[in-house]
Amino acid sequence: MVEGNEKRVTYPSIPVRNWWDLRRKFIQAPPRQVTPGYLASVLGISEAAGKNLIPPLRAVGFIDDEGKPTPLANDWRSEEHYPDVCKTIRENIYPPELLDAFPGPNPDRDAVVSWFSRSTGTGEVAAKKMAAFYLLLCEADPSAQDAVVAKAQSGRKVKLRKKTTTSELIADNKPNDYAPPEDLKVYSGSGVKLPSVHIDIQIHIAADARPEQIDQIFASMAKHLYGRHSE
């Protein structure tokens, strides 16, 4: 909790995804020092964003003034001690007014946002960030980390499926499969049908091409190769 010249109070906020990703890295290998560069590397964020995470990590008691992890951060890594760590942070940072009005594990989100907005005098966006972190501490459930990871993996699978669908669309519309209609077959002046000419055309389309762009490509082919015009 920090007070400014006008006695405006603010509270730390750590994005939920950053919280779990950093905990996973701490479990794998605790760092000797937490710096903006370290946070940028392990969280996949900019160094400026990593710098913004240093104050809240210090405020919750995970790092000291030199950026070295504290015993509380070490307990944070443990499934057994995780709930106690969250409780310690809540009691060290937030006033009894908030803790008594909105105890865990599932306080009303909108009511908590309103409390932070009213108590800090900040805007809705900042109040929601502070409330989200408070709710995370109230939940105090280390298994929630698995749900966040699963959600991220699910998002990557959806993107992969969309790319596959686009590739299949291109494959299904190859011009090699096109059979010219009877009125486009070539005949000699005596009415004898001449041998037809077979032309293979290959088209390379970017994987990120939008469906409407692909439709336009084949519409243009139909116009120039077969004399067809779209309605």
The pair of three-digit structure tokens given for residue 65, joined into one six-digit string: 């003034």
Q: Is 171 or 93 the better-scoring residue by pLDDT?
A: 93
Q: What is the mean pLDDT of residues 51-77?
A: 98
Confidence of residue 100 (pLDDT cuts 50, 70, 90): very high
CB atoms within 10 A of CB 109: 14
Q: Pick the closest to residue 118 from 7, 6, 9, 227 (CA basis).
A: 9
Confidence of residue 129 (pLDDT cuts 50, 70, 90): very high
DSSP state of 9: E
Distance CA 91, CA 204 (A): 61
Q: What is the mean pLDDT of residues 41-64?
A: 97
Q: What is the pLDDT of residue 223?
A: 74
Q: What is the pLDDT of residue 221?
A: 74
Q: Is 206 or 27 the better-scoring residue by pLDDT?
A: 27
Is the pLDDT at 62 greater than 70? The verdict is yes
The pair of three-digit structure tokens given for residue 20, joined into one six-digit string: 């779990």
List beta partners, residue 193: 187
Q: Domain coordinates of the chain in residue numbers?
A: 2-142, 147-226
Is the pLDDT at 191 greater than 70? The verdict is no
Q: What is the pLDDT of residue 169?
A: 44
Confidence of residue 32 (pLDDT cuts 50, 70, 90): very high
List beta partners, residue 2: 10
Q: What is the pLDDT of residue 195?
A: 57
Q: What is the pLDDT of residue 7?
A: 62
Q: What is the mean pLDDT of residues 177-183?
A: 51
Q: What is the mean pLDDT of residues 84-98?
A: 97
Confidence of residue 218 (pLDDT cuts 50, 70, 90): confident
Q: What is the mean pLDDT of residues 176-198?
A: 53
The phi-psi region of residue 186 (left if phi > 0; otherwise alpha if psi is between -120 and 50; otherwise beta) is beta
Q: What is the mean pLDDT of residues 173-177?
A: 50
Q: What is the pLDDT of residue 230?
A: 52
Greatest mean pLDDT range, 51-55, 149-153, 158-162? 51-55
Q: Is 231 or 136 the better-scoring residue by pLDDT?
A: 136
Distance CA 51, CA 67 (A): 11
Q: What is the mean pLDDT of residues 19-39?
A: 97
